[in-house]
């Protein structure tokens, strides 16, 4: 697999271009400030009633209403919540795009699932940092970068890879290495990861372990520490040294017990259900469900949030985390 580094990208490609970053949240502030400090001409687009406007100005950037920012820009990077992008695209972006303009994303959902279908004469690329915005910003200020993915969806002028790589360089990505992907691969793997492993899988694993211990008569405080709190230590070890690095650092008892019991928890049946989850992502069922859920005012989503908020592990966790002075209360 080819990795792209600083030498593979030329910021001069962006020299006479204005980049409008729409949204100033997690990704938006990091892209805008990193590009600005890389010498790229950046403006920020926000809603006229956005409370973030003052923050953008304090950070030294010019801020406009979304539609005006699009009009002024050559490249429009859409860093709004994914489920709001279609409406903003139809109302503020599409009417203000000129032929030759370029539209960019940090996640492929709306392009891949046809929620946004830009005209043929508009180039469309993705640069997706593989980390949250605050990390993208902090690592850049330290002189390094967070690895990025990039992808080309449509390229009417035939030079979009150079533009995308220059953009990735501007946010710091080529300092660490940039990988080429497709909108399809990025979108489907991202959804699968968050559903099966990261958000869905990990939380159910933690909560089920907690409930098994508590139902067997162990103190909820002890169960919380064992099943949730200590997960961070294990994840940090895997993050730094892979699965082998983690097993090297824990006791031999933990290693042996983990290796023998793990496959009983996650077995062939679990694998089959993971494959079904992937299939529902690939065939568009999940996207359709989530788009309709948003159109319907998110009744199911709110009900799920309420159900989750009432879990015993959340109550005991809130109390225990109050004892932990080092955990930021936000």
| Under rule CB under 5 A, residue 82 binds Mg ion | no
Choose the contact partner of 36 out of Mg ion, ligand NAD, none; CB within 5 to 8 A by kind.
none
Among 92, 186, 188, 190, interactor with Mg ion by CB under 5 A: 190
Stretch that binds Mg ion, among 4-12, 77-85, 119-127, 187-195 (CB under 5 A): 187-195
| Under rule CB under 5 A, residue 188 binds Mg ion | no
| Under rule CB under 6 A, residue 34 binds ligand NAD | no
Choose the contact partner of 132 out of ligand NAD, Mg ion, none; CB within 5 to 8 A by kind.
ligand NAD
Choose the contact partner of 147 out of ligand NAD, Mg ion, none; CB within 5 to 8 A by kind.
none
| Under rule CB under 6 A, residue 129 binds ligand NAD | yes
Count other C-beta atoms under 10 Å from residue 93's C-beta. 27
Q: How far apart are CA 88 and CA 102, in angstroms?
A: 16
| Under rule CB under 6 A, residue 107 binds ligand NAD | yes
Catalytic pick from 107, 153, 229, 248? 107
Longest Cα separation, the chain: 67
Q: Which residue is nearest to Mg ion (CB)?
A: 190
Q: Are 124 and 154 in contact (CB under 8 A)?
A: yes
Q: How far apart are CA 119 and CA 97, in angstroms?
A: 9
Comparison of 19 and 46: residue with beta carbon closer to ligand NAD? 46
- For the bound state, the minimum distance from the C-beta of residue 194 to Mg ion, rounded and expressed in Å, comes to 6
Question: DSSP state, 329?
Answer: P
Stretch that binds ligand NAD, among 126-134, 155-163, 166-174, 233-241 (CB under 6 A): 126-134
Q: Are 156 and 165 in contact (CB under 8 A)?
A: no
Interface characters, 35-74, with ligand NAD (x: CB under 6 A) = -----------xx--x-x-------------x--------
**In Å, what is the CA distance from 318 to each residue of 128, 226, 312, 314?**
33, 15, 10, 6
| Under rule CB under 6 A, residue 28 binds ligand NAD | yes
Strand order in the sheet with 62-65: 3-4, 178-180, 148-154, 123-129, 102-105, 75-78, 18-22, 41-46, 62-65
Comparison of 132 and 257: residue with beta carbon closer to ligand NAD? 132
Among 34, 70, 124, 133, interactor with ligand NAD by CB under 6 A: 133
Q: How far apart are CA 183 and CA 152, in angstroms?
A: 7
**Which ranges constitute the DSSP H helices of 126-267?**
133-141, 160-170, 173-176, 183-192, 200-215, 220-224, 231-249, 252-265
Stretch that binds ligand NAD, among 80-88, 149-157, 159-167, 258-266 (CB under 6 A): 80-88
Catalytic residue status for 31: no
In the block, which residue shows the tokens 């687009």?
45
205-212 contacts at long range (C-beta below 8 A, 24 or more positions apart)? 205/265, 206/231, 206/313, 207/311, 207/313, 210/312, 210/313, 211/312, 211/313
Choose the contact partner of 50 out of Mg ion, ligand NAD, none; CB within 5 to 8 A by kind.
ligand NAD
Question: DSSP state, 90?
Answer: I
Tokens of 62: 């010019």
Write out the residues near ligand NAD by the rule CB under 6 A.
23-28, 46-47, 50, 52, 66, 79-82, 84, 88, 106-107, 128-129, 132-133
| Residues within the interface to Mg ion (CB under 5 A) | 190
**Residues designated catalytic:** 107
């Amino acid at each position: 697999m080819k990795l792209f580094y600083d030498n593979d990208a030329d910021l001069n490609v962006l020299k006479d271009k204005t980049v409008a970053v729409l949204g100033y949240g997690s990704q938006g502030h990091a892209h805008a400030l990193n590009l600005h400090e890389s010498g790229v001409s950046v403006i920020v687009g926000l809603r006229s009633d956005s409370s973030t406007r003052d923050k953008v100005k304090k950070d030294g950037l010019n801020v406009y209403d979304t539609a005006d920012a699009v009009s002024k820009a050559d490249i429009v990077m859409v860093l709004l919540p994914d489920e709001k992008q279609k409406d903003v695209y139809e109302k503020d972006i599409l009417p203000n795009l000129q032929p030759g303009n370029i539209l960019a994303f940090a996640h492929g959902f709306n392009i891949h699932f046809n929620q946004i279908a830009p005209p043929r004469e508009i180039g469309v690329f993705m640069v997706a940092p593989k980390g949250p915005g605050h990390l993208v910003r902090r690592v850049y200020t330290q002189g390094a970068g967070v690895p990025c993915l990039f992808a080309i969806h449509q390229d009417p002028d035939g030079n979009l890879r150079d533009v995308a790589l220059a953009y990735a360089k501007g946010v710091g990505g080529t300092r660490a290495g940039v990988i080429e992907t497709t909108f399809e691969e990025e979108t489907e793997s991202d959804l699968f990861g968050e559903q099966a492993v990261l958000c869905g899988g990990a939380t159910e694993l933690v909560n089920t372990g907690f409930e098994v211990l508590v139902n067997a008569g162990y103190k909820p405080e002890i169960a919380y520490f064992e099943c949730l709190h200590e997960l961070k230590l294990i994840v940090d070890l895997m993050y730094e040294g892979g699965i082998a690095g983690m097993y090297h650092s824990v006791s031999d008892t933990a290693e042996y017990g983990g290796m023998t019991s793990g496959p009983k928890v996650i077995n062939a049946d679990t694998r089959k259900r993971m494959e079904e989850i992937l299939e529902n992502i690939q065939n568009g069922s999940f996207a359709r469900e989530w788009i309709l859920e948003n159109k319907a005012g998110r009744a199911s989503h709110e009900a799920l949030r309420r159900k989750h908020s009432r879990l015993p592990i959340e109550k005991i966790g809130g109390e225990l985390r109050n004892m932990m002075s080092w955990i930021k209360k936000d």
